[in-house]
Chains A and B, each alone.
Chain A
Amino acid sequence: MRFDERAFREGRIPEVRQDKFLRSFRLFAEAFPTAIVHRRALQLLGSDIVDARRWDGAGDRGAWTALVRFGQVMEGALGLHREVMAFYSPDKEFQFRDFQKLNAFRERQPREPSRDLYLVYANDPLLPAKLRDWTVREPVNVVALPRGEAVPSDAPARDTAQVLLRDLADSIARQNLYEETLPVTGRDFFGRRDLLQDLATQLRNGKVCGIFGLRKTGKTSLVKELGRQLVMTSPAQRIFVLRDLEDLPSDTGEQSLALHMDLTASLLPKLRDLKLRTHELSHLTEASSVSEFRRAMQAMLGHPSSRDIQMVVALDEIESLIGKDPGHSLDRPYVPEFLGVMRSLVQENPNFNVAISGLTSSVLEAGVLYGRENPLFAWAKPYYMPPLDRAAADDLIRDVGTRMGVRWSDNALDKVFALSGGHVFLHRSLCARIADDLPRDLSSREVTAQRVASVQRSWQRGIAEQLQEMLSSLDRFYPAATDVLHLLSGTDIGADEVDRAYPSQIHHLLKLGLIDETANGYELTAFSRIALRK
């Protein structure tokens, strides 16, 4: 991206001239004369400093922050739509502890600036190298403002503008925000609005829900986003606890205790925050039974202080609790017992509900669990993770791409969606692969259909092991459905025949997004085609 002074005039930020700001900036410039050059450079880039503050807390003495508002050209090129905080350190050596404080300073700004990008100034010749090293390990961009002297000439400002533009562009081009292994929420969560709406309504109406889907379809993200939205609407009256069941102990004898003790440990801090009754729960011990847990929960939920509070417990990775063969094994009698407790608490307390998520829907669909009747059988509603629809898929690509200075042609979006079918893992991994190959020069970060096609083979190889693992986990929990999938993909068996013979397996395959129903029968989805190499 070239520095062309005339080009940056378009949509530039008007120079800030308010007295209050000018007084503050004067003091700022006394502390950091180079700020004058920086401001001039930013103005040459169509942008400006709009706020400057001094910090005098312990350890911060002499530090300043400035808020930078970028002009139209910079916004469009770099995907920066929020103000950016610049941190000015008075120390000759910029320390890692100062780097660690950046977010804290950001939160103290009068208007919330971007959390994706920071500018930093210190009179430390090693600052750029330090920031490059530290941000290899960080999901944020931190760019060094050039050192220099304030002289009465525009030349240094032009040089500074060029260097700043180059460093900003390089910093943005270096990251790959499509790669994401942890659950996402908020602005990073795309699509599934209808499903979220449905789930929220069900929970409000006291109905237990189950959310099921293959690995890497976004179940945990969905549950976390559901919880975030639930609490956000009324933080003083909502409690959401997500219990990841993967860390249950190996010893099945210890699992029962771990179940309710860990849940209690998660609930207590939130109950205390809202000053709710915790007496009975806090007196549970390692010797307490699940019945005692139930009584303690009942006492808390039934207490007057809890009446107006809505509590949801989400049990994630449910297969860790249920196992792969609950219909035939007898070694986990505590499972139906615990689920029975959850059901009775939901039925007796309108202020309590449960959401379940994971790979296996047997928790809701099996009539018998470990030798006993399943208390959730035909009582809770199962939902299956849908793929992203086209609009949400495109939103994800474009929105995230904007933050990386990447532009996508319509044909490229068509091609990506055709390959991924909206499957979140395929979608993100393909975009990440494409982004990896893009040049750093922001003016060349355009993705066309041809570019998508060029990485297709290497992308498929790159995700092959993860796809194989996803198929293995499908086989583990839905072995019959897996067999039918192979049958459909490997033979010419008629749709009518397979419908008659294996209706529940076909149902699971449709719900899990492995086949689509067509006028002629069934066809493999994009995920199945890639995973089975068809």
Chain B
Amino acid sequence: MSAYLQAGALSRSTRFENDLRGALENRGFAVHRVDWETAAEHGWDHAVPPAAEFGRGSVVLLWHPESVAHRRDFEDLLRQSRPKGQEAIAAGARLIVVSAWPKLSFPEPDGSSIIADCSRLRPISVDAVRLRSMRPDLEPAAAERIVRFAGGTVALAEYYLELEFAELSGNEKLRRAGQFLRTVLLQAVDELGVGMLALLDHLILECDMLDLPEDNLADHHITALESACLLWVNDLDGTVHLFAEPWRAEVKDCLGSALRSVVSPPADWEVLARKMFTFERTVRKMVMEVLHEVHGDAWREALGDRGTKALGLARNDTNVSASSLDEMYTPLDWFLLEDLLDLAAELATAHGMVHGVRVGEWARLKVQMVPIRNRVAHMRLPMETDAATVRSALLNLEARMKTARNGATPALPSS
């Protein structure tokens, strides 16, 4: 059996490792912690005892693989972890990968990785009964209050419980609780990684959505956020809820703070930018070919107000001396993408299609691609699906252009 424990900031007690070890040892397991730094420096054969030493009654904790994520050979380490992990499992041991990161934050190595094989362990939820078993002198009402404000999370419940019995004024307790909440939320959000941060940016800061239908979120996002204790699923009505109610006042500020600290481009940004470049210039090429085919040398006249707008942009940005569109040779280079796609749609309306792409498709491309283009242009974090969307759209256009070149469909249908 292999499992992944996403031990994010909200799930970790102050003595997390001791608590985890203790819980396993109380169940009769012999616990072996394996450090990734040791594997990285000395190899997996050194870091993991021979399988014969495990066998029954063992739990192997692969401890915080993200500690070596900065290494160039990190993917190789992930790949090499799998045979050793499988040997231990085959010998009867249980294997738990413990990490603060969501599972999907880890890169895909050339082979498989032990992380990819793992099933998910759900985070522990603290309830009033559990709290009162830890502190029998805790009043039931206070226990309920703590659980509600902690959202059932271990880190907050532990701190609030401590505060409950601290010799401090009510205001001071409130102040410290608020401060701790903010610290932990910042850490929890930071641990999610850039991809999830982009999603939360979109949902919360752009769309103001903290409660939404489950179908509006991809399952793997639900899983990652749920494991981070930042999302709850209501299976009865099919809704999901981000950030427990008592935290929501802090959320936007925490998110904003986390986003502001991101200065390096995500791994897939370069691919996205390149594909976006190719997509937009491909559309320009397609539109130009049709403009030439229909209007000949008078193609600039067909640009209308959009052409004038392009001229204005060019003159603002450069030293171009053109005083009219007639003197511009690449006016489409100054078109906003939405204007370019609108122009393509108009041409498709007037002539049936443009290189096999009909007006409806141009409209759909506008809805899909303009927000992505804006994210790239404004150096905002890309959404997880952006690169795939652009690649797919580009493939679609290339397929149409190939068909047109092969003569099956002309750039424009013959009238």
Chain A residues with a Cβ under 8 A of chain B: 96, 100, 133-134, 136-139, 179, 181-182, 215, 244-250, 317, 319-320, 322-324, 457-458, 460-462, 464-469, 472-473, 476, 482-484, 486-487, 490-493, 497-498, 500-502, 533
On whether the beta carbons of B223 and A250 are closer than 8 Å, the reply is: no
Residues of B contacting A469 with CB < 8 Å?
103-104, 108, 116
Contact of B406 among A181, A247, A486, A500 (CB under 8 A): A500
Question: Complex: how many Å from CA A376 to CA B76?
Answer: 25
Chain B binding surface, main DSSP class? helix
Chain A binding surface, main DSSP class? helix
On whether the beta carbons of B82 and A246 are closer than 8 Å, the reply is: yes
On whether the beta carbons of A491 and B361 are closer than 8 Å, the reply is: yes
On whether the beta carbons of A181 and B1 are closer than 8 Å, the reply is: yes
On whether the beta carbons of B29 and A137 are closer than 8 Å, the reply is: yes
Residues of A contacting B58 with CB < 8 Å?
137
**Chain A nearest CB: distance from B360 CB in Å?**
9
On whether the beta carbons of B403 and A462 are closer than 8 Å, the reply is: no
**Chain A nearest CB: distance from B90 CB in Å?**
6
Contact of B398 among A319, A458, A501, A533 (CB under 8 A): A501
Contact of B399 among A462, A476, A497 (CB under 8 A): A497
Contact of A501 among B76, B77, B235, B402 (CB under 8 A): B402
Q: Which of B79, B356, B389 has the most CB of A within 10 A?
A: B79
Closest chain A residue to B365, Cβ basis:
A491
On whether the beta carbons of B223 and A462 are closer than 8 Å, the reply is: yes
Determine whether B388 belongs to the interface, using a CB cutoff of 8 Å to chain A. Answer: yes
Residues of B contacting A493 with CB < 8 Å?
396, 399
On whether the beta carbons of A250 and B220 are closer than 8 Å, the reply is: no
Closest chain B residue to A323, Cβ basis:
B110
Once A250-B77, A464-B223, A497-B403 are accepted as A-B contacts, the answer to whether A483 and B395 lie under 8 Å apart by CB is: yes
Determine whether B373 belongs to the interface, using a CB cutoff of 8 Å to chain A. Answer: no
Once A182-B86, A491-B361, A493-B396 are accepted as A-B contacts, the answer to whether A461 and B402 lie under 8 Å apart by CB is: no
On whether the beta carbons of A137 and B57 are closer than 8 Å, the reply is: yes
Residues of B contacting A179 with CB < 8 Å?
1, 119
**Chain A nearest CB: distance from B384 CB in Å?**
9
Determine whether B392 belongs to the interface, using a CB cutoff of 8 Å to chain A. Answer: yes
Question: Complex: how many Å from CA A462 to CA B119?
Answer: 8
B111-130 CB mask vs A (1 if < 8 Å, else 0) is 11000110110000000000
On whether the beta carbons of A464 and B219 are closer than 8 Å, the reply is: yes
Q: Which of A136, A458, A472, A490 has the most CB of B within 10 A?
A: A490
Question: Complex: how many Å from CA A484 to CA B82?
Answer: 31
Chain B contacts with A in 379-415, Cβ cutoff 8 A: 388-389, 391-392, 394-396, 398-400, 402-403, 406, 408
Closest chain B residue to A485, Cβ basis:
B392
Question: What are 22 A-B pairs with beta-carbon distances under 8 A?
Answer: A182-B90, A215-B112, A246-B79, A246-B83, A247-B80, A247-B83, A464-B219, A464-B220, A464-B223, A465-B224, A469-B108, A473-B116, A484-B395, A486-B395, A487-B396, A491-B361, A497-B356, A498-B399, A500-B408, A501-B398, A501-B399, A502-B395
Question: Complex: how many Å from CA A303 to CA B282?
Answer: 63
Question: Complex: how many Å from CA A464 to CA B215?
Answer: 13
Starting from the known contacts A182-B89, A487-B392, A487-B396, 7 additional A-B residue pairs (CB-CB under 8 Å) come to A137-B58, A181-B119, A248-B80, A461-B223, A464-B219, A465-B220, A501-B398
